[in-house]
């Protein structure tokens, strides 16, 4: 796990993709958090937490309130982190290319277990961050 903010700032988008997957499947959401915009991080939690929320009403309540209450956020992060650790195997990530998109966006094209995937990035004050809303082609 990385602890130094500067380390994240220096990462290039393709390095972030590798770090994202290794952190995610290692259940290390603290690192995942540093690799994404806050908006995309919460969206990631909401997607990953859906299965748990579907079966557990108290988790559902926590997931609904991650933005309002730090305790709920921690509960959700803990539950998802444990769930991620039970997932079998880390997907094989093969970076294909990095494509600039305007002056402050990038798209990393890669394959996840052979399937074509993209992660979008925006240049933030503290470096390149995964941003799910940055996929639109900028002229």
Partner 1 sequence: MKNKTNDRRNFLSKMLVTGIGGVGLLSSAANAKGRKEGGKVTLNEEQKDELFFIYQEEKVARDVYIKLGEKYPDENNFASIQISEQRHIDAARGLCEKYGVSIEGVDEESVGNFVLPVLQDLYDTCIALGEESLMDALKVGELIEVTDIKDLDHAINDMGMPDDVVRVFENLKEGSYNHLDAYQTAIARELA
Sequence-distant (6+) residues with CB within 8 A of 53 are: 59, 60, 63
| Residues in contact with partner 1, shown as a per-residue x/- string from 86 to 125 under the rule CB under 8 A | ---------------------x----x--xxxxxx-----
CB of 56 to partner 1, least distance (A): 11
| Residues in contact with partner 1, shown as a per-residue x/- string from 17 to 56 under the rule CB under 8 A | ---------------------xxx-xxx-xxxxxx-xx--
The secondary structure of residue 61, as a DSSP letter, is H
Between 10 and 104, whose beta carbon lies closer to partner 1? 104
Which residue in the block uniquely carries the two structure tokens 């952190």?
23
- CA 136/CA 32 separation, integer angstroms: 23
Between 12 and 51, whose beta carbon lies closer to partner 1? 51
Binding site for partner 1 (CB under 8 A): 38-40, 42-44, 46-51, 53-54, 60, 63-64, 66-68, 70, 107, 112, 115-120, 132-139
């Amino acid at each position: 796990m990385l602890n130094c903010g500067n380390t994240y700032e220096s990462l290039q988008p393709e390095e972030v993709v590798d770090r994202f997957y290794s952190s995610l499947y290692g259940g290390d959401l603290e690192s995942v958090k540093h690799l994404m915009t806050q908006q995309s991080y919460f969206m990631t939690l909401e997607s990953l937490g859906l299965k748990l929320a579907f079966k557990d009403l108290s988790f559902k309540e926590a997931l609904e309130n991650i933005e309002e209450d730090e305790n709920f956020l921690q509960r959700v992060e803990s539950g998802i982190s444990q769930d991620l650790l039970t997932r079998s195997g880390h997907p094989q990530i093969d970076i294909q290319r990095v494509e600039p998109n305007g002056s402050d966006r990038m798209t990393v094209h890669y394959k996840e277990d052979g399937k074509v995937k993209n992660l979008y990035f925006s240049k933030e004050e503290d470096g390149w961050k995964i941003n799910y809303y940055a996929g639109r082609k900028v002229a």
